[in-house]
Structure 1
């Protein structure tokens, strides 16, 4: 019986399929572009695990719907399900639960897998993703801690621990875990990312700039999200120093120049443009350019954290798709969605508040923001990302003060 690169048993005896599986594992954990190689491998293999990984990769693409390719790989994986090992069968069930948009089922399945196979760090990473987008940061940390004894020799595990600690406000533990990961693998991107969060939260601006500038030479091979997001963090440090021109240059050269159709690149661009404008930058026609890529998102209400930023960009550019997206969000009232609480308490009122803010109506905007902000964690996203809404709120308060007689 073969093993993957992490020591987990796999059913395939096809060397090409195993090579593709290992490339996906290392690529997914390390945000390396080689993770997409699994698609070509799956197309040439009937292996259940290879096709399951290919389907999961499509489900992580955040297209706002169920990608047809995910269904195709699911069907290919199902055809060889009987030959799969127990862990592989559970992973196939995770794919099915993802397609069925059943987050509770995903959590239960990943718990089962990680209890039996704690070195399955792909499952751990996938589980942390689902905890993260639902704002369940203590769960995100707890599940990683359960794999520490079994997978403590793997740098990526310490990167995942570091970000979990940071999101749970244990900055000292976050820094220790991040530095341990970087001692083991200096290029480990998630550990770099977690350490950037620590530096920003603690106001260690110069240290953060020096760290990220030094590491940036090694980012070219990273996936679009990780590449643009690390540059985004460096831009935040520049803005903290008032270096608006340098931050704008990062937007042009790095944050909005890689994969413009990907959700995380799009919201990173929205978020940075808002911050640049609040810092006094003239962004010119950049909103219009960005909105061209946001327009296809007018139906996308898959995640409130994402949809709110699509909405801001479209409304800012005065695109009709923004009006349509706002109506889609409004129509989510009183539904029975898996994330209904996040929409009810945060997504819908914040959408209304953003519309009022962009319509220069700070009184109405303040009412909606005050209702939503106490529950902001429910929509997921990191502290640094959610701070976007806090900065907008500060501007709303400033406008209200200026209205006072």
Structure 2
């Protein structure tokens, strides 16, 4: 006799201990808890033929975006298929297995059709909801993320075990689609239901970032550290958000302290941790801060990832580290691999390598060489499709800043000002510290050109 999980979804599990571990795994996954793999391992130990568990294990590995872990994900996929043959599974579980197969083929967009099929059959399937949300995040599909949640949300009763986490996902989707006031309201309400929902907490932090309210963001995060202390490496990302707020207020010493004490407390080579670190150091340097030798360890790790090619978002942050530490040989190697991947251009991943990947990487390389005109041209070309690289507005903003700064340094003042205005418009028309400083630089550039008798741009 099969049993239902905590979300009233059918499973092939028959062992109460396995079901308990599976339920804990799902709840931990929703909360970004560091205990997630521990609970999944316990479930698979108790039920080694649990096909859905193996499929989810494979999904967890592909979402890590590391080339060497794809073999482990393939093993999980093979085990899921053989387990399904040994213990027949329902259509719902088969969709998860098939979704993993599409991810492994480099086509996460095709995986979405399987999550959507699960949600069409039962919108309250929180596991499918969260995996759909995570996949759309990687793809930069904020509109699809919001639409999916709005379709399923009416089915979530107040007592549904995942309702608070669903609201956290909705808050993030609202923020990424520009509905800042509603995002803040939904995120705060979700935290009352699920106080350990670091994703929802960070969605509200995003609102503060996008509305130029750094002081309010610091106030929101301060005292809520328990909401992310239990997390996996996502906790470093929340600290990163706090550091960005201090940077906007000009508190550079606080930023460097948070970088050393929290953001790079563990010197991992997880691409998400690398992206936190490299984008923060880049912002600091653009603001004229000497970051010392901090680039070195990031470049050492990134030099080992030049052939990775799992996600362009990851590759571009590896490139930031290589440029930051002047690793010319590794930069050349990565550019060569990006060109090879772009020529294939068959999978979702390879298409992103071609655009925006190639132009963005070339722009970063040129910026490191102080070829600011070349950097601006390439980064400007990439920015029209940068959302396809995945991540959030806040994460992609480092590339926006580099585009604007390269334009100013190359003397493309009108063009840089236009991009700066678009950036401010995206932020509810509110000017943050970066925008104010760059507008001042543009004014200075025009004044200097006028004094020299050069026609102003």
- What's the TM-score bracket when you normalise by the shorter of the two chains? over 0.9
Report how far residue 118 of structure 1 moved.
1.3
Partner residue, 1:131:
136
Greater alpha carbon shift after TM alignment, 111-120 vs 231-240: 111-120
Match of 1:42 among 37, 41, 44: 44
Name 1:316's counterpart in structure 2.
324
- How far residue 305 of structure 1 moved from its aligned partner, in angstroms, is 1.7
CA distance in 2, matches of 1:2, 1:46: 15
Residue pair 1:17, 1:50 contacting (<8 A) in 2 also = no
Q: Deviations over 1:247-270 (max 9, x none)?
A: 111111111123612110111111
- Given that residues 356 and 383 in structure 2 are in contact (C-alpha distance below 8 angstroms), is that contact kept between their aligned partners in structure 1? yes
Residue 228 of structure 2 is aligned with which of 202, 205, 219? 219
Residue 115 of structure 1 is matched in structure 2 by 120
Equivalents in 2 of 1:85, 1:33: separation in Å? Answer: 29
CA RMSD of aligned residues (A): 1.9
The residue correspondences of 1:325-364 to structure 2 (distance < 5 A) are: 325-339=334-348, 340-364=350-374
**Residue 160, structure 1, aligned to residue 169, structure 2:** yes
Aligned length: 404
Alignment partner, residue 6 of structure 1: 7
- Conserved? CA contact 2:58–2:77, under 8 Å: yes
Q: Is the 8 A contact 1:152 1:158 kept in 2?
A: no
3-state SS in 1 of match to 2:103: helix
TM-score normalised by length of structure 1: 0.94
3-state SS of 2:229 partner: coil
CA shift digits 1:74-116 (9 cap, x unpaired): 2222222142222112111112222222223202111101101
Native 8 Å contact 2:172 2:200 kept in 1: yes
Q: Distance in 1 between matches of 2:135 and 2:218?
A: 30
The counterpart of 2:393, out of the listed 375, 383, 392, is 383
Counterpart pick for 2:216 among 207, 215, 219? 207
CA distance in 1, matches of 2:139, 2:333: 25
Structure-1 residue corresponding to 2:32: 31
Question: Matches of 1:184 and 1:152 in 2, distance apart?
Answer: 12
Match of 1:231 among 225, 239, 247: 239
Return the alpha-carbon distance in structure 2 between the equivalents of residues 75 and 43 of structure 1: 17
Match of residue 16 from structure 1: 17
Q: Report the CA distance between 1:66 and its aligned residue.
A: 5.3
The 5-angstrom pairing of residues 389-400 of structure 1 reads 389-400=399-410
Gaps of 5+ in 2: 412-444, 453-457
Q: Deviation of residue 172 (structure 1)?
A: 1.8
Per-residue deviation, residues 7-59 of structure 1 (Å, max 9, x unmatched): 21211011232122112211111000111111353245221122222222222
Q: TM-score by structure 2 length?
A: 0.84
Q: 2:101 aligns with which of 96, 100, 107?
A: 96
**Structure 1 residues without counterparts, runs of 5 or longer:** none
Q: Distance in 2 between matches of 1:388 and 1:268?
A: 10
Q: 1:164 to 1:347 in 2, by over 3 A?
A: same
Residue 366 of structure 1, aligned match among 368, 372, 376: 376
Q: Residue 42 of structure 1 contacts residue 54 of structure 1 at CA under 8 Å; is this kept in 2?
A: no
Contact 1:24/1:36 (CA < 8 Å) preserved in 2? yes
Conserved 8 A contact 2:92-2:118 = yes
Q: Distance in 2 between matches of 1:168 and 1:237?
A: 21
Counterpart Cα distance in 2 of 1:199 and 1:139: 23
- 1:219-298 to 2 correspondences below 5 Å: 219-224=228-233, 226-258=234-266, 260-298=268-306
Contact 2:64–2:270, Cα closer than 8 Å, also in 1: yes
Largest Rg, 1 or 2: 2
Cα 1:76–1:265, aligned 2, differ >3 Å: closer, same or farther?
A: same
CA distance in 1, matches of 2:107, 2:68: 14
Q: 1:75 aligns with which of 53, 73, 78?
A: 78
Counterpart in the other structure of 1:86:
91
